[in-house]
Amino acid sequence: MKSITITRPDDWHLHVRDHKFISSILPDTTKRFARAIIMPNLSDPITTTALAADYRARILMAIPTGHKFEPLMTLYLTNQTNGDEIKRAKESGFIHGVKWYPAGATTNSDKGVSDIATCYGALAVMQDVGMPLLIHGEVTDIDVDIFDREEKFIERFLGKIISDFPNLKIVFEHITTEQAIKFVENSGPNVAATITAHHMLLNRNALFKGGIRPHHYCLPVLKREHHRKALVKAATSGNKKFFLGTDSAPHTEHAKETACGCAGIYTSHGGIEFYAEIFDKANALDKLEAFASFNGADFYGLQRNSDQIILTKKQTKIPPSIAFGDESCIPFRASECLEWAID
Ligand SMILES: [Zn+2]
């Protein structure tokens, strides 16, 4: 049986929701990952260091006994975020990034940034103190086709931000297109990107296979096959600018299976196994450890983890649904199989 040992990975983009929901899903993450960048887009977004401290405490309470896990908190950027708040965040020691959601881009982004120019004071301090800007890179204009939103965001915003703040650390989150890959590759060492497993496992046909598939709906939306292939190539290339971020984003079954379903795919139950499958199929298992366990820590300026996990190529069944608070959530590839297992 094929098996590999790698340094314990981290998840550089994760949604764990709040309150009763955290404890249903967090064990899937803490079983696999030592740390995760926790996204701040709760229905009341985490806009201040004080709110992040409270949220962090709720997450720590939900860590199962015997698991060691560090939530790496983030702030939600708004038109009102100022430099003092960024300084407080940096001094806290537990906040590791500030997330820019263009208003209306995805789940709970209504309070996000409507005009990035209003945030220039905050961005200047972030550049000074070395606080990374994490970007949901999609324009939200109604006239831009949903499949082109990432490409248009690069054209309209990213070049300008980088020329105005040349030393700002930027993580272009969950990239989905050849254009985003090229942009990151051609930028300086202060620009990196996370890549999800689901954007490397599925192309946009998965949204419509035999009928509408709400559990394959996420944002950024799945893209064409040539983009999917390019993502696999970038992730398995060994380039240090690309690293693991699951963007696992659970919703209740009824919030997905409805006339206007939420965006988000839950993948934490195979948070590292799905990537092992992708890297194995690409004959690049030797590149998995850097992508999953080194590149992100190095970019964020954190120590690499010291313990290890063992991954084995063996099928295990994924349940049809999982408990989520007092409701249920349909996990990615429900009732099918994980191709790799963690010991
Ligand atoms: Zn996300």
Q: For 23-37, how does the pLDDT look when each residue is reduced to its tens digit (9 = 90+)?
A: 999 999 999 999 999
Residue 261: domain span? 11-305
Coil/strand/helix, residue 145: coil
- Ligand 1 center–CA 342 separation, angstroms: 24
Distance from the CA of 305 to the center of ligand 1, in angstroms?
Answer: 23
Nearest to 322 by CA among 221, 219, 248, 259: 248
Task: Produce one character per residue of 301-319: b if its CB has 16 or more CB atoms within 10 Å, e if not.
Answer: eeeebeeebebebeeeebe
Q: Give domain status of residue 3, yes or no.
A: no
Residue 44 binned pLDDT confidence (cut-offs 50, 70, 90): very high
Whole-angstrom distance, CA of residue 237 vs CA of residue 291:
9
Mean model confidence pLDDT for the chain: 97
Over residues 85-98, the mean pLDDT reads 98
CA distance 260 to 280: 36
Q: Is a pLDDT exceeding 90 seen at residue 324?
A: yes
Q: Is it the case that residue 18 has pLDDT exceeding 90?
A: yes
At 19, the pLDDT band (50, 70, 90 cuts) reads very high
Q: Count Cβ neighbours within 10 Å for each residue of 98-136 and write b for 16 or more, e otherwise.
A: bbbbbeebbbbbebbbeebeebeebbebbbeeebbbbbb
**CA 102 – CA 150 distance, rounded (Å):** 12
With cut-offs at 50, 70 and 90, classify the pLDDT of residue 279: very high
Whether 296 is covered by a domain: the verdict is yes
Q: Is residue 1 part of a domain?
A: no
Q: How confident is the model at residue 1 (pLDDT cuts 50, 70, 90)?
A: confident
β strands within 26-112, DSSP E: 35-38, 70-76, 95-100
In a domain, 325, yes or no: no
- The reply to whether 340 falls in a domain is no
Tokens of 331: 């996990």
Separation of CA 255 and ligand 1 centre (Å): 17
**3 CA distance to ligand 1 middle (Å):** 30
Kindly state whether residue 322 falls inside one of the protein's structural domains.
no
User: Into how many domains does the chain fold?
Assistant: 1
pTM score of the predicted model? 0.97
> CATH code at 153?
3.20.20.140
Whether residue 220 has a cis bond before it, omega within 30° of 0: yes
Residue that the structure tokens 């700002």 belong to:
168
pLDDT for 105 equals 78
Is residue 218 within 8 A of residue 150, CB to CB? The reply is no
pLDDT of residue 110: 81
Tell me what the mean pLDDT of segment 2-28 comes to.
97
Determine, yes or no, domain membership for 319.
no
pLDDT tens for each residue of 92-146: 999 999 999 998 878 778 888 989 999 999 999 999 999 999 999 999 899 999 9
Q: Active-site positions?
A: 247
pLDDT of residue 109: 81
Give the mean pLDDT of 2-29: 97
Overall average pLDDT of the 67-84 stretch: 97
Alpha-carbon distance of 101 to 137, in angstroms, equals 8
Neighbouring residues of 113: CB distance < 8 A, sequence distance ≥ 6: 77, 78, 79, 100, 101, 102, 103, 119
Whether residue 333 is contained in a domain is answered as no
The confidence score (pLDDT) of residue 221 equals 98
* pLDDT band at 159; cut points 50, 70, 90: very high
State the distance from the centre of ligand 1 to the C-alpha of 218, rounded, in angstroms.
9
